[in-house]
Amino acid sequence: MLLRNYKQNLSFWTSAKKSKIHKIQSQETVTFQGSLKLVLFIGQLFSLFPVCGLLSNDANKVKFVPISWKCGYSMLSMIGQLFIIVMCILYVAHFETTLNGTTPIIFYGVTFISMIAFIRASRRWPELIQHISKSEELDPSFDFRLKKKCNITLLLVLVLAILEHIFSIRSAYSASQICYPHTGFYEGFVRYLYPWVFDFLPYSAALGMVTQFLNIQSHFIWNFTDLFVICMSYYLTSRLDLVNKKLLPAQGKYLPEIFWRTTRETYCRATKLVRKVDEIINGILFISFANNLFFVCVQLFNTFDDSVDMVGLCYNYSERRTKPVGREPVIYLLFSLGFLISRSITVSLIASQVNLASTVPAPILYDVPSAVYCVEVQRFLEQVNGDNVALTGLQFFSVTRGLLLSVAGTIVTYELVMVQFNQAPASDSFTEKLVENNISTIETFYNYS
């Protein structure tokens, strides 16, 4: 009986292997460069990934050339972002330091650091492409949904980011009409939206357009960082699913030792690829999670603020004005908050799929019949249980399902602290007023006596 089951499962394995070889010969395989081609091209439009041959299907054509127009474009963009950061610091130093005042420094600072992280990844990108190409030759993939998932995610993120920017411009236009009623349309718009530039430098249309381009570029990089992490997670999960799809039909079957050895080697190559990718993009992932954590806290704090429908940046050197501007800021703030929270949750859940896919083989290996249990099964099982396969943020944390709850708890904690801190001045003034009333009452009592 045991011999008959063994022969039947051996024929099942050999026929599956022959059909796989026939499939490779008859169909075009799915590659990393083909799946993420559009995503990386959009990134290059905004000065990210200064790599030559990035859109080529040949791994040997992908090169990082320091002296090229792509690297020059990236350097000019970094200089522009650094200029905005310096102007924001001067603006905060001139006025009082508040949370909303320091937020632009952090926003443009994160953009500048993100550019550095992408250049760091670009320098090692040819090495990564070569490693991926060799892995795909040994273990070809036929997951044709991968390219579609990356392109659909790209489309959704871009559409929502454009909508958010439109709401931001609409809100800024309404406020600029109140703050700068006696200036031209475009001048008032850029003076309101970028006070850290035009409160110190004379206005010109050219400077306004350059500043606006740098702002659009920052918003794109802010969204593209999450998009890039999502698409890389899609690809790594699909590589691990190659092993899982091979193992699931074999659960509980009597298969030879060579099957478990080849499957374990495939799993080893997939996990090695995850570690290689994480080594190159872990800085980008760290920036993505830290950026989302900070801005979710800031947007929630602004949502709880009673003056959300007021102009907060109607400042000049002689006076400060705070005026109602309608509901445009409220609409922008709520849409931006919903988009930011949705994007943060999506990044966490999709990136955690890499870790989740790496644990799928464990219950299948536990179900191997005792008659065919061998050293290869034992080694495979020890590797699955002993190795933590996951994307990390500079090795400070691993992206798993539990991380989402930890981040949510951190956001709630800091939000309560920020709300209490914001209410502290009001409570202090109330206490002072109460003390003054008590003192006047006591003085009146003694005078009457």
| 92 CB-contact burial (10 Å; exposed 0-12 / middle 13-18 / buried 19+) | middle
User: In whole angstroms, what is the distance from residue 167 CA to residue 171 CA?
Assistant: 6
What digits encode the pLDDT tens for the residues 405-442? 888 888 888 777 777 766 654 444 444 443 444 434 33
Rounded CA Rg of the chain = 29
What digits encode the pLDDT tens for the residues 169-197? 888 887 777 777 777 778 888 888 888 88
Q: What pLDDT score was predicted for residue 96?
A: 60
Q: What backbone torsions phi and psi does residue 306 show, to the nearest 5 degrees?
A: -70, -20
Q: Which amino acid is at 204?
A: S
- Indicate the helix (H) or strand (E) that contains 361: helix 361-366
- Indicate the helix (H) or strand (E) that contains 353: helix 328-358
Coil, strand, or helix at residue 145? helix
The pTM of the full predicted model, rounded to 2 decimals, is 0.84
User: In whole angstroms, what is the distance from residue 53 CA to residue 66 CA?
Assistant: 14
Other C-beta atoms lying within 10 Å of the C-beta of residue 2: 10
Counted residue by residue, the chain has a size of: 449
- Using left for φ > 0, alpha for ψ between -120 and 50, and beta otherwise, residue 40 falls in alpha
Angle between helices 257-304 and 99-123 (to 10 degrees): 160
Other C-beta atoms lying within 10 Å of the C-beta of residue 40: 18
Would you give the distance in Å from CA 45 to the centre of its chain? 18
Angle between helices 69-94 and 99-123 (to 10 degrees): 160
Q: Write down the H helix ranges in 139-204.
A: 145-179, 185-193, 195-198
Q: What is the token pair recorded at 193?
A: 């939206």
- Indicate the helix (H) or strand (E) that contains 378: helix 375-386
User: In whole angstroms, what is the distance from residue 177 CA to residue 78 CA?
Assistant: 32
Q: What pLDDT score was predicted for residue 423?
A: 60
Kindly give the parts of the chain with pLDDT less than 50: 1-4, 6-8, 10, 12-13, 15-16, 18-26, 307-313, 316-324, 425-449
Q: What backbone torsions phi and psi does residue 214 show, to the nearest 5 degrees?
A: -65, -35
Query: What residues have CB less than 8 Å from 241, skipping those under 6 apart?
Result: 143, 357
Q: What is the mean pLDDT of the chain?
A: 81
Query: What residues have CB less than 8 Å from 319, skipping those under 6 apart?
Result: none
What digits encode the pLDDT tens for the residues 131-164? 999 998 988 888 888 999 999 999 999 999 999 8
